[in-house]
Amino acid sequence: MFEEMKEDINAAMHRDPAAKSRLEIALCYPGLHAIWLHRIAHHFYLKGWILLPRMINAFSRFMTGCDIHPGAKLGRGLFIDHATGLVIGETTELGTNVTLYQGVTLGGTGKEKGKRHPTIGNNVVISCGAKVLGSFKVGDNSKIGAGSVVLHEVPPNSVVVGIPGRVVVRHGVKVNSANVDADSLIDLNHNQLPDPVADYEEKLNEHLEALQKRLDTLDALIEKYKEQHPQS
């Protein structure tokens, strides 16, 4: 337990540039407190208890702003930044070294039973306000852009943006070696994402400019023809 708590503090220390000390993180980070309280609730949930885990969950939501169902499976090295408004559903599964920002929802899409929430791979970054809804997997080393709504499976090493979410990049660094520092492979620059809508608008604008040039050329030829053949 204490080893996991140390890993949690180290994850925040490595991934949050605002962190000044481990003591500050342990005492002042609501995302960290939500993870620790969830582990207690999850322990009793696995034993078949119902009311106590939900009471711990309710207390955690009140204290931290995070709503993590006691049944969710959280991997090691999880970092929840700012925490406010984060929701994680009952059958959600998180891999190792996942980073979640405020306002993220890992939820379902209806009233179906069984596995109805997403499975998040290793080293995944889900930016603020993103919604991942449904029973599918987000592959390892992927990044979900801020405000995106993801409704389908995401391949490993991908970048997803938009509503609904679209894969715009499908290449990245794979974690293949146990000797590699996982934190060095987690790209937290979630403001530097491709914008497929802007790219399309730029191409459309270039196409319109080309059409305008052709029309101007045709108009000039027509005027020249009229000058040379005034009787026609």
Contact between 139 and 118 (Cβ < 8 Å): no
Question: Which pTM value belongs to this model?
Answer: 0.72
Q: Tell me what pLDDT residue 36 has.
A: 95
Q: Are 128 and 83 members of one domain?
A: yes
Q: Are 31 and 80 members of one domain?
A: yes
Domain that holds residue 57: 2-193
Residues 6+ apart with CB under 8 A from 153: 136, 137, 138, 139
Contact between 66 and 30 (Cβ < 8 Å): yes
Q: Are 46 and 10 members of one domain?
A: yes
Question: What is the spatial distance between Cα 36 and Cα 60, in angstroms, rounded to a whole number?
Answer: 9
Q: Are 145 and 214 members of one domain?
A: no
Q: Are 227 and 178 members of one domain?
A: no
Q: Are 70 and 93 members of one domain?
A: yes
Q: Tell me what pLDDT residue 232 has.
A: 61
Q: Are 165 and 110 members of one domain?
A: yes
What's the rounded mean pLDDT across residues 30-36? 94
Q: Are 46 and 154 members of one domain?
A: yes
Q: Are 170 and 75 members of one domain?
A: yes
Domain count, the chain: 2
For residue range 153-183, list pLDDT tens digits in order. Answer: 999 998 999 888 888 877 553 334 344 444 5
